[in-house]
Structure 1
Amino acid sequence: MQYSNNSRIFKTHLNKSLFVILTMAVLGMGRATAKEPAAWVDPFIGTSNYGATFPGPVMPWGMVSVVPFNVTPAQGNEYSNTDNWCSNPYVHPNKVMTGFSHVNLSGVGCPDLGSILLMPLTGELQVDHAQYGTTYSQEEARPGYYTSFLDRYAIKAEATTTLRTGISRYTFPKGEAHILLNLGHGLTNESGAFMRMVSDTEIEGYKLMGTFCYNPDAVFPVYFVAEFSQPALNRGYWKKQQKLPGHRHSWDATSGTYKIYNNYFKDMAGENIGAWYSFNTEEGEQIEVKIGVSYVSIDNARENLRAEQSGFAFDETAQSAWREWNKQLSTIEVEGGSDADKTKFYTALYHLLIHPNVLQDVNGQYPAMESPDIHQVTDRNRYTVFSLWDTYRSVHPLLSLLYPEQQLGMVQSMLDMYKEGGWLPKWELYSRETNVMNGDPALIVLADTYLRGLTDFDIETAYAAMMKSATTPSAENKIRPFNDFYLKHHYIPFTKDYDNSVSEALEFYVADYSLSQLAKALGKKEDHKALRQRALGYKKYFDKNYGLLRPVLPDGSFMPGFDPVQGENFEPVHGFHEGSSWQYSFAIPHDMPGLIRLMGGQKKFIQQLETCFNEDLFDMGNEPDMGYPFLFNYVKGEEWRSQRTVRDCINTYFHTGPAGLPGNDDTGTMSAWLIYSMMGFYPIAPGDPVYTLSSPVFDKVTIHLDNSHYDNDQIIIETINNTSENIYIQKMEMDGQPLNKYFISHEELVTKQHFKFHLGNTPKK
């Protein structure tokens, strides 16, 4: 790589330092003055160790994020400098950046989106991302803002966003400068794009996205309009062409040779295409580029852009993003704890609010579920990116408590998906069903939301949608393809054609139990009875010789060759999806008393659960395990073990810094677990509006409730005698009265005002 001379770098660094000082003063983002919640957020947490988060700016529930792309495919389509599996456009240990992508996913386990890339360059024009990449330094990120210094080109790059648009600002050295718009580069498994140059300051087009987790039907376009703050001196397209046998003059796609179009400005389409805009800049000259996107049309992308960024006002846009983040994060105020505790907590809350995100344009249009060519119109938020197998456990219950209006909007979005596509979503991505993971998770979210008192949606339509997936025969059932056998025998058998039988059935049990609780609340007694009985089918899998769940054959006998630890680290496994029997055998949140009896009583249950933790059989990053640390609370006198184990998990698996998450955040699921655990309560049983308690990390937690949904203004959780050693609850109070139980209802939580925990360093047995 060639680098600019030292004097130019020094001047740019000096300009950068002065700008950062001024910006922080204007925006009020300096650590010295900030006690605001947003000031504790570190967007780099989770950007390594497969956390799959990103440091680029995004608004709460925002459609657009501007993310430095550093998982550049090298020769042979392998990712360079990565930790092997990249489901996100940014991995912190990587060193080479090739642009800023504008549509991205946070914390997911499969690659997609990470596209519509802008890349500034200096010197000779290059359009091959394998050649123009650069190292970067002086990297900073905070809510609504990102910056880094592109070493090879001596360019300072900055980015911020609105809800549906992004804007980046590049401070150039003197000389020839270029800004590339690359549509052939990104994370998505799909190729194909279209571009049209509108003028020397504007370009429009679309990029095909999808095939998330290898589902060939989950494909959709994203449309964009990009505007530059000044006209280009020169501009054009590029296209990477396949070599044609027998042609003397041809372009070789395997050698990295690209055809440059210098005097063609109309339409361009293909798989590896892009556009370049060139300038002659003075030292310190700044050029801004703003991009609006839409999942409906180019016209809508332009309307979004003009509605949310009518001009070029980078600093004001960044300031507005900061204010919005601070507003949303201020829903919870914490006092006490260490600086690291506050950073972990507010970064987790920040990650919670990225997905699901809005899909509709400013005019209310959005693509209908499974019918992207049909455009519906809504006067409320339509949400997308529903990773429901993950999020039903912690994200949606927490949103119901902290952001009930948004949670109701998500419930309504799910019901609209049912009306448009005929089925509730399972893992929905931009109005396409990806069919990722197990179970029937939408039932759990809908029932749980209603039972927590958020009832402002069409419950009869919801109930009909839930019963459809729960009762439709296999041949016509898009959610439960094993439903015929399951309805008759209440379990799913292991067969040579399907080996995730136990984990699939466990998810159905939680879904059916949740639906049974809703049926009970609605007075549907027969449905309640049938569904509740079905949810107890897990007992068929219990093998008393192991004290664990074991796959069962169609004839009712246990699968031979059972290995209870098989499945560690994504090894092939019989009966379980991405985990061993140990990592699923306690995942019976709807009937823990029944499981305790199966395991031989309370003493043996405690021994088995301790074995899971002591012999490294517990996996914090695997969703079915998330409730395990709290399960000791089901045995009277053993609750101290939950207090110890929850605190151990907080300290062992969650940290500040890029490796601060225990694997994929799964669109906020791990972050929600941390938020709950640090506050001292957790929704242990989906479908039951009940929390189990543990010792809070902070001296005081104030939760500000939404008065349009809750009567209380706030909940205060106060901790007495709180130190890093004092992790054991000695006594508890609820509104000044003794609290002698380790489970409270959602109604108790939101109607009481003051919870007090007295801690000590000795377990209370």
Structure 2
Amino acid sequence: MAKIILLFLCLASFPLSSYAQAVEDLVHPLVGTEREGQTYPAVGVPFAMTNWTPQTRAGETKCIAPYYFTDAKIQGFRGSHFLSGSCVPDYGSITLMPGIGEVMTGAVERASSFERVSERATPYEYTVHLTDSDVIAQITGTTRSGMMLFRFSREAKQGWIVIENNSRGGDGWVHIDPAKREITAKVPVRREYAGSGKLAGFSTYFVIQFDRAFRTEGTWVGGTADAGNLEQDGDGKPPGVITIPAMMTSTGGASAASVKVPTGNPRGGFGAYILLGEVKGGEAIKARIGTSFVSLDGARRNLHDEIPDWNYAAVRDKARSQWHRELSKIEIRGTSPERTVFYTSLYHAMLHPRTYSDVDGSYPRFASDGKIEPGKGFVVYGDFSLWDTFRAQLPLLTIIDPSRDSHMMKSLVLNGTEGGYLPIFPAWNSYTSEMVGDHASVAIIDAFSKGIRGFDIQKAYELMRRNATEKPVSRQEYLDGKGRRGLDSYLRYGYIPLEDHIEDAFHKNEQVSRTLEYSYDDAMLARIAAVLGKQADAALFSKHGENWRNVVDPQTGFARGRYKDGSWATLFDPAGTYSWITEGLPWQYTFFVPQNVSGLIELEGGKEKFVDKLDKLFDEGHYEHGNEPSHHIAYLYNAAGVPWKTQERVRALMDSEYHDGPGGLAGNDDAGQMSAWYVLSALGWYEVCPGIPEYSIGSPRFDDMRVHFENGRALHIVATGTESGKRYVRQVLLNGRKINNWKLTHAQIQQGGELRYEMTPLPEAAP
């Protein structure tokens, strides 16, 4: 055993090369894998098409991530498209698992125990010792391809590798070509939410090549193997599920309570296997894997472009250098242990949206039935968790990666052009009708307001306006997820009344939340209409931007359900849960008026009463950081004239809701939104109202930081004493000039220079 551990350490401890500060090694990818975080140790490069991960849960099941820290066995190593931190099911995935002795094909049967001490997760490589077979597994990745190295630590008469097609519908195929030492696979992608279970019109293709010949090969379906068979189609039967008692997670650190996580694993499935014959101790086999959403030829082309040979170390080191470059855009001086939380958060914020186009630019047309489009001259991105990421994750990219953000905005406009409507929550290259609001518009407007160009703003505006004013003519298009839910009522009444039962959506009803979010979207639409010289539209959408007033009851001061006749929902408790609020409480959604905070303060009776209400939200336990509608609320104290309370609340949230253990996220990370909140807050600011390019000042987390911009400039952030407990800000100086309104504009940040926070252990009155 000692020899095995020594071998593992030798494999894991390759030289640091020229990295002065190995920020990529401060990342802890296991953060969020134990509790509500729903993350997984995604290996590869930033914004990759396919991520590579150990698998402890089989199948492509809603709300089940590929990996959970609490699980005791590894079932294989997966090429995954799981939306990190979400409840969105994985899709188009495949799993490889090595072993010795009699070949075991099923996920549960082939699963191996592993040594936790041997588990080493970084953004660029995952390594682990599988104890049942004495195999040391290493995986790494590129944008569209991956590489695995399996080292057999002891001699065995038979080594093997099982390949499982994880198709949710039990369809697709695998094919073995022994002469080429190659296995290929097609995994059809299925939709969820709108059109649940239907084919999404494209597949993931895999080309898996090995560096040594097979002794024997075969295929399998369910528990039945077929030796010598070279091709296997799925039987069209979705894998069943074993019922195993739920497991209570226990590691502390985040504020939310532990939750029960199902540990059942789907059974059945189908795939291929290869037998290697006798293996010697220390002998290794490598697999390089190309992936594509376009075709088998595309997967092979991606593989040959990104991994042209069998040099595993070169692939790993290239992935490492990419992470080093991206993570180093924000530099933290010093040795604070909180750097791990910061860089892990930044890593999580750089996983999505994912690359959808091949190396030649080709991509599957959005919301189509299998049509492939040639390259458009930019990287096409997909899987935008927009209800979440418009708040902080996409705004973060406008600061540190505007060129990539431009490609992402081009991709959203492309989605709308190809499908007819801007998507609300695009996933698996389809409309979904998942979540509420219409925040693709906000993401585009926010980027444009910050000077990000390269996309057709006139076409974008045409699509935004259509979403805000036109319901699809075709009933089927509406059912497929196009357009705003409840739009007719919203336009007629200025809110969505409770009589309008919204059934054609995954989130049913939720009329008040929809009204509040549409009102915000429309307020931002008014701003871009004015910029584009469309004054009539600007007036129309400005009016719609005040529709929030129609669902915030001035008598109680809370967001509240309302009927067509104007009467309010009865038996009302602001701390209660209602079908007309999305994933939250009236207490939380009342504060979702980012476009007009001053108007909300006035409605609530003025600044003093507004502050009292914010205090009650926090002090009585109604604030829920684990869900996105709360994320801007702590910064609202600034608008009420008590910035020290923003500073106090923000720092308390950073301390209580984030830590560097597997349970270190208070809620679903939702494609990096939870993590991006931490990154921006640690810098000392947060964008309360995306679409208006200004940031509300909070309390920075580190004494000395530097943000490197694409324009070649840098912003040196100095907050001396914050790491030693000074969490309050006396004043803020930008290049020697005092900031008087507790706001920074995007342009001010981008000009670079020095941003100095004068920190103090005691709160200061507002200037």
Deviation sequence 1:336-362 (CA, Å, 0-9, x none): 4622x1111111111111101111111
Change (3 A) 1:196 1:356: same
Asked if 1:234 corresponds to 2:213, the answer is: no
Match of 1:97 among 49, 69, 74: 74
Query: Cα deviation per residue 1:320-373 (whole Å; 9 max; x = unaligned)?
Result: 11011001111111124622x111111111111110111111121110001141
Tell me the TM-score normalized by structure 2: 0.90
Query: Residues 302-323 of structure 1: CA distance to partner in whole angstroms, max 9, x if unpaired?
Result: 1111111122111111111101
1:551 aligns with 2:556: no
Match of 1:527 among 511, 520, 537: 537
| Residue 561 (structure 1) shift | 2.4
What are the superposed Cα offsets for residues 626-648 of structure 1, whole Å, 9 maximum, x if unpaired?
00111100012x11000000000
Instruction: Give the Cα–Cα distance (whole angstroms) in 1 for the partners of residues 500 and 518 of structure 2.
Output: 21
Q: Does 1:13 align with 2:44?
A: no
Superposed CA deviations along residues 558-593 of structure 1, whole A, max 9, x for unmatched, are: 0122232222xxxxx231011111121101100111
Match of 1:131 in 2: 109
Structure 1 stretch displaced more, 403-412 or 197-206: 197-206
CA distance in 2, matches of 1:466, 1:207: 34
Q: Percent identity?
A: 30
CA deviation vs aligned residue, 1:265-299 (integer Å, no higher than 9, x gap): 24544342111101121111000111111111111
Change in 2 beyond 3 A, CA 1:723/1:698: closer
Matched AA of 2:349: L
One-letter amino acid matched to 2:228: N
Contact preservation (8 Å) 1:678, 1:696: yes
SS at match of 1:397: helix
Query: Residues 216 and 228 of structure 2 are in contact (CA less than 8 Å); yes or no, is this contact kept in structure 1?
Result: no
Whole-Å separation in 2 of the counterparts to 1:541 and 1:698: 40
Structure 2 distance, partners of 1:471, 1:128, is 51
Give the Å deviation of 1:134: 1.2
Does the Cα contact within 8 Å between 2:713 and 2:752 map onto a contact in 1? Answer: no
Distance 1:190 1:546, change over 3 A: farther
Q: CA deviation at 1:464?
A: 0.5
Q: 1:222 is matched with which residue?
A: 204
Please point out which of 495, 500, 507 is paired with 2:510.
Answer: 500
What is the aligned partner in structure 1 of residue 128 from structure 2?
148
Closer/same/farther in 2, CA of residues 422 and 473 from structure 1, 3 Å limit: closer
Output the CA distance in 1 between the equivalents of 2:92 and 2:620.
Answer: 39
AA paired with 2:218? G
Asked if structure 2 preserves the Cα contact closer than 8 Å seen for 1:300 and 1:361, the reply is: yes
Aligned residue for 1:6?
none
Structure-2 residue corresponding to 1:212: 192
**Contact conserved, 2:365 with 2:371, CA < 8 A, in 1?**
yes
Tell me, yes or no, if the aligned pair for 2:92 and 2:204 is still in contact at 8 Å: no
Tell me the SS of whatever aligns to 2:304.
helix
Aligned residue among 626, 629, 636 for 2:631: 626
Cα root mean square deviation, aligned: 1.9
Name the structure 2 match of 1:69: 55
* CA-to-aligned-CA distance 1:604-650 (integer Å, 9 cap, x gap): 100111100001100101111100111100012x1100000000000
Deviations 1:532-583 (A, max 9, x none): 111111111122343211010111110122232222xxxxx23101111112
Residues paired across the two proteins, number: 711
Q: Deviations over 1:103-161 (max 9, x none)?
A: 23211222222720000011111112222211111100112100011111111111000
Match for 2:225: what amino acid? I
Distance 1:337 1:467, change over 3 A: farther
- TM-score, length basis structure 1: 0.90
CA distance in 1, matches of 2:233, 2:580: 49
Is 1:322 the counterpart of 2:326? The answer is no
- Structure 1: runs of 5 or more not aligned: 1-8, 80-84, 241-257, 568-572
- Determine the structure 2 residue equivalent to 1:82: none
**C-alpha separation in 2, matches of 1:53 and 1:545:** 42
**More displaced 10-residue stretch of structure 1: 439-448 or 474-483:** 474-483
Query: Counterpart in 1 of 2:151?
Result: 171
SS in 1 for 2:85: coil
- 2:638 match: secondary structure: helix
Once residues 510 and 496 of structure 1 are traced to their aligned partners in structure 2, the CA distance between those partners, rounded to angstroms, is 20
Which runs of structure 2 are paired with 1:361-372 in the superposition (5 Å)?
361-372=358-369
Is contact 1:58–1:354 with CA below 8 Å preserved after alignment? no
Alignment of 1:355-754 (within 5 A): 355-378=352-375, 379-473=377-471, 478-495=482-499, 497-498=501-502, 499-567=509-577, 573-636=578-641, 638-707=642-711, 713-754=713-754
Q: 1:218 to 1:335 in 2, by over 3 A?
A: farther
The 2-side partners of 1:654 and 1:122 are apart by 41
Give distance in 1, aligned partners of 2:27 and 2:121.
9
Q: Would you say the 8 A contact 2:173–2:231 is kept in 1?
A: no
Change (3 A) 1:213 1:71: farther
Q: Does 1:57 align with 2:57?
A: no
- Answer yes or no: is the 8 Å Cα contact 2:516–2:551 preserved in 1: no
- Label 1:121 to 1:647 Cα distance change in 2 as closer, same or farther (>3 A): same
Give per-residue Cα distances to partners, 1:388-444, cap 9 Å, x unaligned: 111111111111111000000001011111111111122112321222100111111
> How far apart are the structure 1 equivalents of 2:713 and 2:752?
10
Shift of residue 190, structure 1, vs aligned partner: 3.2
State how far apart, in whole Å, the 2-side matches of 1:266 and 1:607 are.
Answer: 68
Asked whether the 8 Å contact 1:212–1:218 carries over to 2, the reply is: no
What is the distance in 2 between the residues matched to 1:391 and 1:18? 39
Where structure 2 has 5 or more consecutive residues not aligned to the other structure, the ranges are 237-268, 503-508
Q: CA deviation at 1:509?
A: 1.1
Q: Secondary structure at the match of 2:80?
A: coil
CA distance in 2, matches of 1:468, 1:231: 57
Instruction: Tell me which amino acid in the other structure corresponds to 1:15.
Output: L
Match of 1:265 among 230, 236, 244: 230
Tell me the amino acid that sits aligned with residue 179 of structure 1: I
Q: Specify whether residues 372 and 753 from structure 1 end up closer, same or farther in structure 2 by C-alpha distance, changes over 3 A only.
A: farther
Tell me the CA shift for residue 724 of structure 1: 3.5
CA distance in 1 between counterparts of 2:208 and 2:471 reads 49
Q: Deviation of residue 10 (structure 1)?
A: 4.6
The CA distance in 2 between the partners of 1:121 and 1:151, in whole Å, is 10
Cα separation, partners in 2 of 1:436 and 1:165, compared to 1, 3 Å: same
Separation in 1, partners of 2:744, 2:162: 56
Aligned counterparts of 1:312 and 1:294: Cα–Cα separation in 2? 20
Helix, strand or coil: the match of 2:588? coil
CA contact (8 A) 1:726 1:760 kept: yes
